[in-house]
């Protein structure tokens, strides 16, 4: 069974600073990987996804993530954070065997200081 760990419950950064949110997964093969963002009281929106190929994935809103097989990680990065990036971020893994059920991490809450 797959699992996802987001080790940081909260992350605080200053506006304009760089950001890295960590995600580690456990799965026997190369999984499908996702990052979602959730603003308060809203649904989740897909930021980016990795299925195969280039391990550096570009997403919306200036986010990128890098798949590192050796570290079982899929960390999310942004070079310069904006106040509007304050939200909850979820990493998820989907099994490549055709499973319909992704596994979500517990989420990381991003706080942005002006």
Partner 1 sequence: DGGITQSPKYLFRKEGQNVTLSCEQNLNHDAMYWYRQDPGQGLRLIYYSQIVNDFQKGDIAEGYSVSREKKESFPLTVTSAQKNPTAFYLCASSIGGTGELFFGEGSRLTVL
Q: Which residues contact 85 (CB under 8 A, 6 or more apart)?
A: 19, 61, 78, 110, 112
Name the segment binding partner 1 (CB under 8 A); options: 16-24, 54-62, 77-85, 90-98.
90-98
Q: Which is nearer to partner 1, 94 or 112 (CB)?
A: 94
Name the segment binding partner 1 (CB under 8 A); options: 17-25, 59-67, 70-78, 92-100.
92-100
Q: Which of 23, 57, 76, 94 binds partner 1 (CB under 8 A)?
A: 94
Unique residue bearing structure tokens 């950064």: 13
Q: Which is nearer to partner 1, 5 or 15 (CB)?
A: 5
Coil, strand or helix at 32: strand
The number of C-alpha atoms within 13 Å of 14 and in the hemisphere containing its C-beta is 2
Distance of alpha carbon 48 from alpha carbon 77, whole angstroms: 11
Query: Closest distance between partner 1 and the C-beta of residue 95, in Å?
Result: 7
């Amino acid at each position: 069974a797959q699992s996802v760990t987001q080790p940081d419950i909260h992350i605080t950064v200053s506006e304009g600073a760089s950001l890295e949110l960590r995600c580690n997964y456990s799965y026997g093969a190369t999984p499908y990987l996702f990052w979602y963002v959730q603003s308060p009281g809203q649904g989740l929106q897909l930021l980016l996804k990795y299925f195969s190929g280039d391990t550096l994935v570009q997403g919306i809103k200036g986010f990128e993530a890098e798949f590192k097989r050796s570290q079982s990680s899929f960390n999310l990065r942004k070079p310069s954070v904006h106040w509007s990036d304050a939200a909850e971020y979820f990493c998820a893994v989907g099994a490549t065997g055709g499973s319909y059920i992704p596994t979500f991490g517990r989420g990381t809450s991003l706080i942005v200081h002006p």
